[in-house]
Structure formats: structure tokens, C-alpha cells
Amino acid sequence: MSLITELDYGTPIRVSEQTVTLTIDGLTVSVPAGTSVMAAASRLGTQIPKLCATDSLEPFGSCRLCLVEIDGRRGTPASCTTPAENGMVVHTQNDRLARLRRGVMELYISDHPLDCLTCAANGDCELQDMAGAVGLREVRYGYGGKNHIHDAKDESNPYFTYDASKCIVCNRCVRACEEVQGTFALTIAGRGFESRVAPGNTDFFGSECVSCGACVQACPTATLTEKTVIEHGQPEHSVVTTCAYCGVGCSFKAEMQGNRVVRMTPYKHGGANAGHSCVKGRFAYGYATHKDRITKPMVRAKITDPWREVSWQEALAHAAAEFHRLQAAFGVDSIGGITSSRCTNEEAYLVQKLVRAGFGNNNVDTCARVCHSPTGYGLKVTFGTSAGTQDFASVDKADVILVIGANPTDAHPVFASRMKRRLRAGAKLIVVDPRHIDLVRSPHIQAQHHLPLRPGTNVAVLNAMAHVIVTEGLVAEQYVRERCDLADFESWARFVADPRHAPEAVEAQTGVAAAEIRGAARLYATGGNAAIYYGLGVTEHSQGSTTVMAMANLAMATGNIGREGVGINPLRGQNNVQGSCDMGSFPHELPGYRHVSDDATREMFDAVWGSKLRPEPGLRINNMLDEAVEGRFRGIYIQGEDIAQSDPNTHHVIAALEAMECVVVQDLFLNETAKYAHVFLPGSSFLEKDGTFTNAERRINLVRKVMPPMAGMADWETTVALSNALGYRMNYTHPSEIMDEIAALTPTFAGVSFKRLAEVGSVQWPCNDEAPLGTPTMHVDRFVRGSGKFMITEYIATEERTGPRFPLLLTTGRILSQYNVGAQTLRTENIRWHQQDVLEIHPFDAESRGIVEGDLVMLASRSGEIALAAHLTERVQPGVVYTTFHHAKSGTNVITTEFSDWATNCPEYKVTAVQVRPTNRLADWQEMFAENEVALKRIAPLATAAE
Ligand code: SF4
Ligand code: SF4
Ligand code: SF4
Ligand code: FES
């Protein structure tokens, strides 16, 4: 067996309060009722030979290798499908069983290429292992009869190969696709000897397959194998670490040959993913060693100068001298910093420490400003904690799932698979989204209610749901009386009961049929455990914080907070957006969300940091940019964030960056922001450093270094060196020391240490003496703030209005294969799934504009205009258009506006009034698609015609 294969019990371990006791090969064992004989034997250390069984899938019973004898029963039942029973006496080894198993194996091997020594799976093949385990020494049948030895390979998927000649038709891949991933892309086509695995009537690349890799993981042979393993061979050691893409925070084993990653295998004991993955984490890690990586520090006097490679020492000294010069000339507040939600907790902590203690101001912000800052605000006000309330496993206990402003199958795929499993098991689904997202209808899932609201009307819809709950007597009165502030509740109840909030009254405004809102509200309030999951479609609005509070109101009013299966759950975008916020990245909050004006907290930090912290909040990102345009803000240290591409109103961002005298960018690549930088400090990928990420469920996971930093320094080391160059001493030798400092200063992290994390795998904060193993569910007996606080959530329509010039509403989102601004995923084979951003437009809107599928169109708002290819689809409703923002060339944020959430300034990315029209400005398209061969080919005939 491979050194890195984890123990496999053969069938899933059941959870039951009842146990049964049986005897296996003379040994007695007790297991939870429902456990298979195979898993019970595993508990005793007896591995019964198997091929079609694995403990991540329901037993199937097709290979007949796991036969056993049971006293009092006829025949030789399959141990994987036979439940253990009280008093059972089982025999797993005797001559008869050995003969039968050898016979089964002989048949398999007789239709299998005997190329073990050159096979990519050699040493990691269960067929090979089982042949050895059953003692098969010779095969009596040759290849003379019918066989599959010459079946063709399917190499269409960029990451794995399907070699049909090696398939034993064990069905594990089909079941993995159904049970684990929930995509149902594979079937067994044909019958008997003809049966083969098939991804529909096409190849893998052209099929429904989303390249999650679950089938590859499940395959016991070399049939489904990673191309990297075929190319490089089997890994020789592995290191458990954490995915650096989305806020699900999946754990992986980085399987290595020396310093080379051979494959990323989802870690079975990962707290967030339990052995599952998506295409990004599992396969799209190649960006980390991409040739575009910048590995030498660079400096230039003016942004029009060419870059000059310099030593680390020179780059850091230059940045420090410039920051000193600017503060001397323009004041202590003339510079600031931005922490990264892509970097570790320890790195975010150091950047905010450098700004507060080294720069001497509170001008620090983070990219959460532009995504989930309303979550922090809204949940802090209502519940007392700026974070989601549940762990992911909680969804297994939900009876009603309300998904609002999120597209989990694309943006949080591993959690989506878990959610879909629960939905297939019978939970009810409400989707509130302007688009017909996949979840609304997918294999074996159909939303009970889809509320396709007009972008920008979340609050009106949630208030209408609250109206139904209050006026129809669906409030959980006892819960509210015991857990919430009653006076606040009563004024809220009067507010939402007002007829102007009735579903019928807001129907025209929201575009949602009143009956749908009423049905959804009744289901949410009365359907059992009801859980809300939401994303940026909630927060990136002018009323983002109001929407978060409106959801909190609904949950409190129906008693859906404080136990498993319920809650308010933000699906965080970036891998460490929760962590960067926890680490004090906002200008008004020190680590642990403590306000900078709190004297006692500041004194505590001053004592440890040797600082004199300022009590007034510093500048937010947008304030820094505004001040820069005004000439008062002159320098910035940006770690791992591309504000020129990801922040709204690009023209304004660029004007601000151009106005600054010292822009220091620390990143893996020369990103859009680096075009305006004076100092470039090479960053390090997640593979090159130790640290922690905190995912959407507050789970703190270890990130472990698997290779040395390509530029010689990990990001935390760079911040330490910059701080020391500035004259503010930092003396850390390892990120664990940084976490020790965080734990000493932050009560919710008091019990967190690298040692603890290594011992228990991961913990969810709060983790302290009261909760040494962390807190999966928040607000169990009481809200963190004491009584839950209902907030009045008046709906105020965004100032961004449609009109004759801009009659359509643009909303934005992500797709599965890509991640944010594409800096990572577009540097991998994932680009094959998304060669350009497209504009989704309803056929009615397209027809009235003379637009047909694939046309290049101008998309214009009052901020600017861009060119995109049109895709006609009924996924969007008439009047709404949609695009992604993964390609820098698309420049989506050129057209987003300066409107933002009233409380947090989170930009209103999700609502922009636009016009769409066909364009004949060929030059725009050619510039736009200059690096896109496919699009250029399509443009070529037009170019010829224009000449
Ligand atoms: S591809 Fe692999 S998992 Fe699927 S049926 Fe064939 S051998 Fe089994
Ligand atoms: S990679 Fe995932 S989606 Fe594709 S066939 Fe395999 S299990 Fe199904
Ligand atoms: S779901 Fe998110 S964390 Fe998990 S593998 Fe995919 S991108 Fe990584
Ligand atoms: S492992 Fe039991 S029948 Fe295949």
C-alpha cells in the first residue's frame, strides 16, 4: 500500500446510540448499529479484501471480493453490504474464502493490462494490492477472448486521464460523482461485459463534469489518474495544509517529490471538507510556480520608469525611507496599509501592527471592505459577534435552507456539495437571487421557492417575509421572550407589520410575486430548523448591512439561532477574509473586533507592542483613495491585494494610485495595481509558508510550508523586515510566535496555538478556557451581546437608478473554474473553462437591441464602458444583465459606481445601471481580447471586412 493512503474502513462509519456486539475471527467487537461487517472487522484491524467499497461511499456490493462466512447463514455474503448484528459470528479467512477471492481477482486481472511496473499507479493501486492480498500468483485466462485492453483513453480533461482499459467497473467513480459531489455526470453505459463508465455521450471535458476530482480520488485503479502523477510518478511524502482559494477552507495533503507538488489530495480528516475538493483547490495550484512569478524585489523612481531589480535590503530601505520622507513632509497620517485576505492570519496581524505601531496611525484596511464588511457590522450589532453562527456540518441538520445572494455551487463548491446532499435527503430550499442559479434546479433538487428579485431589493423582500411571519402569528414567541430584547422586538414587529411591507405592496418594487414571498416566509418560519446561507449578493449593496440585520431579525423572530441546523451563515469569498477581519484589519478595530477608542484594550496592546496607539479610527480604503486624489495621502503598503482591478470605479482608483509618491505592492505577480507601484516586494504562495487561515465557519486551519519561498522570504518575513527597516522592531522567528502573541492579546483566540492546532486538526473560535476545543455553534444559551437585538430595517432604494440612458441593471458574480480577479486561476489550465468574461442577457433584451449570441457588445454605465461578448440566456430575467470579473481585460469595475453600503462603505458591485448595445468599434475588441486567441479568431473576419 502507498505510504500516504489513509486507513479506509471500507464502508462509512455509522453514528448510532445503539451498539451491536459480534465476533469476527474469534475476536469480539462492539460497533454502532448499522455498521457493516467490513467496517466492524476494520475496527479489529482486520482488512477484508475489497474493491468496490470505500468508506467515503455507500456500499454497493458489486465486486464480490469481500465475501465472508457467517454462522447460521447460507452462502458467502458480501461483508460491505451486510450490517453487523448482535451475536453474529463471522469468519473472514479460510481456504474456501481464499479460493473464491482468488477466482474473482483472476477474472479482473484477466481483463486488465499487465503493465504494473510502468503504470502510473504502481504502488498506489488497490487492484495490485488486492491481487497480493488474496495471494493471486497466476492467471489462467489470457487475452484471447473478449477484453477491454485496447479501449481508448479519454485525455480531454486538462487534469486527469480516463484510461478505459484499466477500468474494473467497480462503480466507485459514479457513486462519488453522485454521493460526494452531487453532479451526476457519470453513468455506467451498456450491460454485462459491455458496461463502461461514461460521462454522458461525450468526453469528460464536454460533459457535465466539474472536475472536482472525487471520481479520481475514489478510483481504485489507474483508470482515473492525475496527469501530474502520470508525468512525474508517485509522490514520496505529503504535508497537510489548507487551500488558499475560497472561504470553505478545505484541507489538503500536498503530495510531494522533493519540493515539487505532484498532486493535492483532499484530506479526509479536514474539518471543513472531509475529503472533498473542487477543481480549484485540487488541481489549480500551478500558478504557485508559474513563470510569471516575480522573485526579485524591484524599485523605480517614477511609475513611467522601467523596473530595476534590487536586493531585498535595498528595496526595503527604499520603501522605509520613502515612508519616513512622506510622513515628515505631509504628516503622520499621509500613509497607510492594506492587509490581505489571501495571506495568513499571522501576516494580516503583522501588517496592521506595522501600520498602527510602526506608521503611528490607524490607516489600515482590508479587502473585506469590498466584500463582507457588512457581515461584520450587521452580526455584531444584532448578535454581538462579527462572524457566522454555525459550522458547515450544521447544514446536515437543517430542514429548510434559505440561500440568498450566493451561488454556492460556483463560489463555495465543496460546501455546496454538502448542502446538496442534505437537499437530496429532503431538506426544503428557498433561493432568493435575481438569477436562476444552478441550485434552483439541479439533479434531484428543486427549490420550493425561487424569488427572482430585482437587484437592490433584498431588504424589501426580507421585510416582506418578516411581515408575513409577524402578521400571520408565526413568531417563536417563547424564544424571543427568553433570548431577545423585548422592547426592540416590539418596535420591529410594529415596523414590519405595517401594510407597506406586505408582499403585495412590494411586488412591483421587488419583481417577486407576493404568493412566492408568502410561501417562502411560511416555510422558513414553520418548516423546522431553518438556516440562512448568504454571500456577496447580500453584502455588496448600498443596504448590505441592513440586509444582514434583516436576516438576523428573521432568524431571531423564528428562533433559528443557537443550535445545530439553523443560523446565519456568511459564505466568505476569500480563503482568509474571516481571519483578516479577526486580526484587526479594519481602521476602527484592534484584533478581536475591539474598538480602538477603548482605553483598556489600547493599553494592553501598547504594553506588548511598545507603542502609543491612537484612539481615533483611521482611513478606510475608499477614504485613503479620496485623500490621495486630494493630495493628502501619499504612500501605501499593499500586501496581496489588487485594488486597481478589484475595487469599484477603476478610474478613480487609478487616479488615486497615480497621485501617490510611494506605492509598495507585495504580491506574487505584477498585478494591475503594480502598474502604479514604486516598490515591488515579491510575495509567497500558500505553499511557501507556515501560518493559519480562518474559514467561513470561524475554523482556524494550519497552513504548512511545503517548499521554500521562491523569493527567499515568506510574506510575514517581508513585513518583519520592512518594519525593522522603518525602525519599529519585530523579532519573530516563526509564525507560531505571532499566533502566541495574538492569543495572548485576544480573548477569543486565547486557546489557539500551532501546537493545539497540530494536535486537534483545527478549532473554531472562540477557543479559550471556556471552550478549549473551539465553538462550532455560536449563541447557544444566550447571544454574545446578551439579548438579541432586533433592528429596524427600512428599505431605501439605491440611488443607482435605471433610466432612459441606462435602462438595465448589471449584477456580477463568479464561476466555478475561476477565482476573483483570475490572478491565480487564469495562470492554470482552468482557463480552458473560461477564456473570457461574457455578458449574460435575456433574449428579450437582446432581441430589442439586435444582439445575437456571441456578439461583442458595449456595456456602458455612467462610470465608463467596456466590451464583452454577449450570451443570451433565461438565467437572467428581462431587465437584468450579469457578468463575471475574472479577466483583467474585461475591466468590469470600470463601470461599477462609487455607491456603497451606508455603514461600511462596502461597494455596491451588485447593482449598476447600464446600457448594452452592439458595437462596431473593432479596435476596442482587438485591444480587449489581445491575449485571447479564440476571441481574436472570431474577430478576424470583422477586421477584414472593416479594412
Ligand atoms: S473508472 Fe475507476 S472507479 Fe470508475 S468504475 Fe472504473 S475502476 Fe471503478
Ligand atoms: S471530476 Fe467530479 S464532477 Fe467530474 S466526473 Fe468526477 S466526480 Fe463527477
Ligand atoms: S471549495 Fe474552496 S477551499 Fe475548497 S478546494 Fe474549492 S476553492 Fe479550495
Ligand atoms: S467490496 Fe464488497 S462487494 Fe465489493
Mutate to test the pocket of ligand 2, among 160, 181, 282 (most ligand atoms within 8 A of CB): 181
SS (H, E, C) 496-519: HHCHHHCHHHHHHHHCCCHHHHHH
Take atom 3 of ligand 4 and give the residue whose Cα is closest: 61
Tell me, in angstroms, the distance from the centre of ligand 3 to residue 216's CA.
17
Closest atom of ligand 3 relative to the 277 alpha carbon: 5
Mutate to test the pocket of ligand 1, among 57, 63, 169 (most ligand atoms within 8 A of CB): 169
Closest atom of ligand 4 relative to the 81 alpha carbon: 2
Predicted pLDDT at 947: 39
Mutate to test the pocket of ligand 4, among 54, 56, 64, 104 (most ligand atoms within 8 A of CB): 64
Predicted pLDDT at 931: 54
DSSP for residue 113: -
Predicted pLDDT at 140: 65
Positions of the chain with pLDDT lower than 70, given as ranges? 1-6, 137-146, 369-372, 891, 893, 920-947
- Rounded CA gap, 840 and 413, in Å? 21
Closest atom of ligand 1 relative to the 171 alpha carbon: 5
Is the CB of 274 inside a 6 Å radius of any atom of ligand 3?
no
Is the CB of 218 inside a 6 Å radius of any atom of ligand 1?
yes
Task: Using alpha carbons, list the distances in angstroms from residue 572 to 338, 457, 542, 698.
Answer: 19, 21, 19, 10
Half-sphere exposure of 17 (CA within 13 A, CB side): 0
Ligand number with the minimum distance to the CA of 411 = 3
Is the CB of 416 inside a 6 Å radius of any atom of ligand 3?
no
Q: Which residues of 380-459 form beta strands (DSSP E)?
A: 400-404, 428-432, 441-442, 445-446, 449-451
Mutate to test the pocket of ligand 1, among 112, 217, 223 (most ligand atoms within 8 A of CB): 223
Going by DSSP bridges, is the β-strand pair 691-694/428-432 parallel, antiparallel, or unpaired?
unpaired
Give pTM, 2 decimals: 0.91
Take atom 5 of ligand 1 and give the residue whose Cα is closest: 169
Ligand 2, CB within 6 Å, residue ranges: 176-177, 181, 183, 185-186, 209-215
- Rounded CA gap, 91 and 93, in Å? 6
- Rounded CA gap, 671 and 608, in Å? 36
Take atom 5 of ligand 2 and give the residue whose Cα is closest: 209
- Rounded CA gap, 768 and 748, in Å? 6
- Rounded CA gap, 860 and 879, in Å? 15
Take atom 6 of ligand 1 and give the residue whose Cα is closest: 167
- Sheet of strand 762-764: strand arrangement: 691-694, 699-703, 762-764
Tell me, in angstroms, the distance from the centre of ligand 4 to residue 102's CA.
14
Predicted pLDDT at 935: 52
Is the CB of 197 inside a 6 Å radius of any atom of ligand 1?
yes
3-class secondary-structure state, position 479: helix
Mutate to test the pocket of ligand 2, among 159, 187, 188, 212 (most ligand atoms within 8 A of CB): 212
Cell 470505500: give the residue. 54
Tell me, in angstroms, the distance from the centre of ligand 2 to residue 181's CA.
7
Predicted pLDDT at 925: 55
- Rounded CA gap, 714 and 906, in Å? 30
Longest CA pairwise span in the chain (Å): 92
Sorted by sequence, the CB contacts under 8 Å of residue 586 that are 6+ apart come out as 364, 365, 366, 368, 369, 373, 376, 620
**Mind listing the pLDDT tens digit for each residue in 400-426?**
999 999 999 999 999 999 999 999 999
Closest atom of ligand 3 relative to the 246 alpha carbon: 2
Take atom 6 of ligand 2 and give the residue whose Cα is closest: 215
Q: What string of DSSP letters covers 540-583?
A: SSTTHHHHHHHHHHHHHHTT-SSSTT-EEEE--SBTTHHHHHHT
C-alpha cell at 333: 497620517
| Nearest Cα residue to 866 out of 906, 801, 914, 933 | 914
Is the CB of 54 inside a 6 Å radius of any atom of ligand 1?
no
Amino acid, single-letter form, for residue 171? N
- Given 3-state DSSP classes, what are the helix, strand and coil percentages for the chain, each rounded to the nearest 5? 35, 20, 45
Mutate to test the pocket of ligand 2, among 179, 210, 278 (most ligand atoms within 8 A of CB): 210
Tell me, in angstroms, the distance from the centre of ligand 3 to residue 273's CA.
8
H helix or E strand, kind and range, residue 107 = helix 95-110
| Nearest Cα residue to 695 out of 391, 468, 385, 324 | 391
Take atom 2 of ligand 2 and give the residue whose Cα is closest: 212
Is the CB of 53 inside a 6 Å radius of any atom of ligand 1?
no
Closest atom of ligand 4 relative to the 53 alpha carbon: 1
Closest atom of ligand 4 relative to the 79 alpha carbon: 2
- Rounded CA gap, 915 and 80, in Å? 60
Take atom 8 of ligand 1 and give the residue whose Cα is closest: 170
- Rounded CA gap, 852 and 841, in Å? 10
If you compute the radius of gyration of the chain from its CA atoms, what whole number of angstroms results?
29
Amino acid, single-letter form, for residue 869? A
Is the CB of 172 inside a 6 Å radius of any atom of ligand 1?
yes
- Rounded CA gap, 647 and 543, in Å? 18
Predicted pLDDT at 144: 59
Q: What string of DSSP letters covers 823-852?
A: TTGGGSGGGGG-SS-EEEE-HHHHHHTT--
Going by DSSP bridges, is the β-strand pair 449-451/594-595 parallel, antiparallel, or unpaired?
unpaired
H helix or E strand, kind and range, residue 859 = strand 856-860
The terminus-to-terminus CA distance of the chain in angstroms comes to: 65
DSSP for residue 474: -
Closest atom of ligand 3 relative to the 273 alpha carbon: 4
Is the CB of 168 inside a 6 Å radius of any atom of ligand 4?
no
Helix 486-497 × helix 458-471 angle, to 10°? 100
Tell me, in angstroms, the distance from the centre of ligand 4 to residue 56's CA.
14
